[in-house]
Structures are given as C-alpha cells and as structure tokens.
Amino acid sequence: MAQESSIPSPHEWGVGCRFSLYPMCDDFTGVILGALREADGTGLEVETDDVSTYVGGDERAILRYVCDVVAAASRRTGHVVAHLLLSRGCPGEVTCELGDDDAPPPASALPALPPTGVRAAAHWSLYPLGVTGHMDTIAAAVTSADTLTGSVHYASRLDGDLAEVLTTIGAGWVEAGAHVRHVVTHATVSVGSPTVREVLA
C-alpha cells in the first residue's frame, strides 16, 4: 500500500459507504452475519448497526468489499438485495468540515472488479452536490455507463455481472468526483430475483 501514502484518508475526505443487505429469507440474520464474516474487510472501518453498515476506506477497497459481501450472501440464499450509499468530499455528519472552494478529493484507481458469476440488476442515481449544472454531470456519467440498459424515473438501470454493475457505479461516482467535491450516489442492487415484474404483470 506504499504507493497510496499520498492519498488522503477517508476521514479527511469523507470517503465511505453505507450499505444494507436484504436476504429475502427466514434465516436473514445467518446470511448477513455469514456474508460479513466471509468478506475481507482488511484496511476498512466497518460499523454495523440495526439499520445499515458504514464502511470507511478508499474507493477501491469499499467496492471490492461490498461486492464480496453481496456475492457471499447470494451463495447462501436465493434473492438478495443490497442498497448502497457511496459518498466522497464531505466529512462529518450533518455539517461538513471542508470549505466550498476546496478541490475534489483525489481517488484511488478503480480497476474492474473480478467477475462473480452472479447476475445483478440495479437502479442507480448520482447526486453531484453543491454545484449548479448537476444534470450535465449526471448525463455524462450515465452516457458512459458500461452496464446501462435503460432508465426509469429518478434512476438508471444497470444489468450485468454483479462485479460489472458495481464497477459502473464506482466509476460514475469517482468520475463525477473529479470535478465536483461532494458526490453521493445511491444504488439498489438486486441478485437472484424471481422477477416480480412478471408476477405483477
């Protein structure tokens, strides 16, 4: 990790994630705990409460960890959904310790995550904050999204291997963050769905 010594810490730049894992099964607690134990959280700050899990660390490590947790959960049961909130550029909770004119935080490199063999569908939304012209930033990110398969109200649809979908989400978040300091992105990522769409049709 020596090559990353110049990258500010997550605490300095507010880089991190909140995520929740929803295994749709009676043994949801066993699936969640097993998946969290199986995934490698080395170097990350992981704090779980009764609503969601905070993961602090660099962008690459966060995405790898979330991918590992969701893939591990999907191997333990059928239908699992994860909801992710990724944030960078705003340390603190209600207030922010950075000035409005501070430059965006530099990002760690984000190589594509290795394939999981798990098929995922996601609704993804990107929020460049504290700037005007946010729709242009969003449109640029969506246009270059590798796994884009459509759009719905308030979100873009992504389909692909779980790793590809999370790589797309991470890339959009970090690329928007190259010129916008505070960028948050949310995604609902579903694996193993029995395709409720057909049930409801």
Question: Contact residues for a second copy (CB under 8 A)?
Answer: 14, 16, 18, 20, 22-26, 28-29, 32-33, 36, 48-52, 54, 56, 79, 81, 83, 85, 87, 90, 93-96, 100, 121-123, 125, 127-135, 138-139, 142, 151-157, 182, 184, 186, 188, 190, 193-197, 199-200
Looking up tokens 């057909």 gives 198
Contacts of 179 (CB under 8 A, 6+ apart): 104, 137
Closest to a second copy by CB, 9 vs 114, is: 9
| 8 Å CB contact between 54 and 11 | no
CB of 167 to a second copy, least distance (A): 18
State which residue, 110 or 155, has the beta carbon closest to a second copy. 155
Q: How far is the CB of 2 from a second copy (least distance, A)?
A: 27
User: At CA 116, angle to CA 174 and CA 184, rounded to 5?
Assistant: 25
Residue 117 or 151: which CB sits closer to a second copy?
A: 151
**CB of residue 55 to a second copy, shortest distance in Å:** 9
Kindly list the distances between the CA atom of residue 96 and the CA atoms of 12, 89, 93, 162, in Å, as whole numbers in the listed order.
11, 9, 7, 32
Give the residue with the Cβ less far from a second copy, 71 or 82: 82
Burial 101-127 (b: 16+ CB within 10 A, else e): eeebbebbebeebeebebbbbbbbbbb
Closest CB 3 distance from a second copy, rounded Å: 27
Would you say 5 or 50 has its CB closer to a second copy? Answer: 50
Least separation in angstroms between CB 65 and a second copy: 15
- Whole-angstrom distance between the N-terminal and C-terminal Cα of the chain? 51
